[in-house]
Structure 1
Amino acid sequence: MLLLINIRLVQLTLLFLLLAIPISGRSSVDRTGDRILGRWLFPTKGSSVDVFRIGDRYFARVAEVDHAGQKNYGLAKDKIIITNLAFDGENWSNGEMIHPKTGTHLDVELTMENPQALTVTIYKGIKFLHKRFVMTRVG
């Protein structure tokens, strides 16, 4: 009798574990966070970045560089300038932006007001002192 109860308990535990693990291996938060993926133009519209995901983190690599982006900001094609953004269900935060010209490491947070506009907020330690700009989706 005790053996039967133990077997039943093991079966129920396994069933609970199977139901608790998402079948796709990705949660709905991951898929929602993927809205950010793709190519985005800087405000000057001459340079752009490709946003991609590795695991549960998001990154941005310089895709195209115009003369002004190279001269004023030190942009270089294929250079990764944003790393380790985490999606919290609403925003992408806790990332780091490496200023391509100075090498300064800055905190970065991204918000998406609509599917075509991505607001980038960069700051150094204190969010109150920040710079904000909007990138637009290519295509």
Structure 2
Amino acid sequence: MKFFAVLSGFMMMTLVSVAQADNAPVGLWNTIDDTSGEAKSTVELYMEGDRLYGRIIELINPDEPNPVCEQCTGEKLNQPVIGLTIIEGLSFDGDYWSDGEILDPENGKSYDCRIWREGNKLMVRGYIGFFYRTQSWILSESASD
């Protein structure tokens, strides 16, 4: 009887892991500038275990060729923006990817983060308490190459 209880528990954990992977917005996403509405960068979202992460892999028409995160703190201070991990440790709760952080390399600040899909857009919200900003990211055309 214990064997079946253990087997059932293992199968349930496997199904939860599969559901998380199926709902993961893994791939290349273009961030959109709030002011101009133009694509600003390409972020690669990827899984490590059951957590979602994201790193900048391309800057689109940057003001300078190889910027570094001058406003960041700790190990990210003065690191190149291209290759910088900006989304860390999000977990899936059934509706959203949350319980992790997002870094804004322009100001070096980290915010709590929540991500969800609305149609073909990825909604990315950074927040502190009740104050938040939400961006719509779109699937990168290079993701389909």
TM-score scaled by structure 2?
0.73
**AA at the equivalent of 1:80:** T
Q: Is the 8 A contact 1:112 1:119 kept in 2?
A: yes
- Structure 1 unaligned residues grouped into runs of 5+: 1-11
Structure ranking higher in helix proportion:
1
CA RMSD in angstroms, aligned pairs only? 2.6
Q: Is the 8 A contact 1:83 1:95 kept in 2?
A: yes
Q: CA deviation at 1:103?
A: 1.9
Once residues 100 and 70 of structure 1 are traced to their aligned partners in structure 2, the CA distance between those partners, rounded to angstroms, is: 14
Q: Number of matched residues?
A: 124
Of 90, 100, 109, the residue aligned with 1:104 is 109
Q: Is the 8 A contact 2:68 2:81 kept in 1?
A: no
1:25-36 counterparts in 2 under 5 A? 25=14, 27=16, 28-34=18-24, 36=25
Q: 1:131 maps to which residue? A: 133
Once residues 131 and 73 of structure 1 are traced to their aligned partners in structure 2, the CA distance between those partners, rounded to angstroms, is: 23
Structure ranking higher in strand proportion:
2
1:42-121 counterparts in 2 under 5 A? 42-43=31-32, 44-68=38-62, 76-114=81-119, 116-121=120-125
Q: Deviations over 1:27-68 (max 9, x none)?
A: 24323332x000000112241100001111100000111234
Larger radius of gyration: 1
Summarize the Cα distance change of 1:87–1:65 in structure 2 as closer, same or farther, 3 Å threshold.
Answer: same
TM-score scaled by structure 1?
0.76
Of 26, 29, 32, the residue aligned with 1:37 is 26
Summarize the Cα distance change of 1:49–1:80 in structure 2 as closer, same or farther, 3 Å threshold.
Answer: same
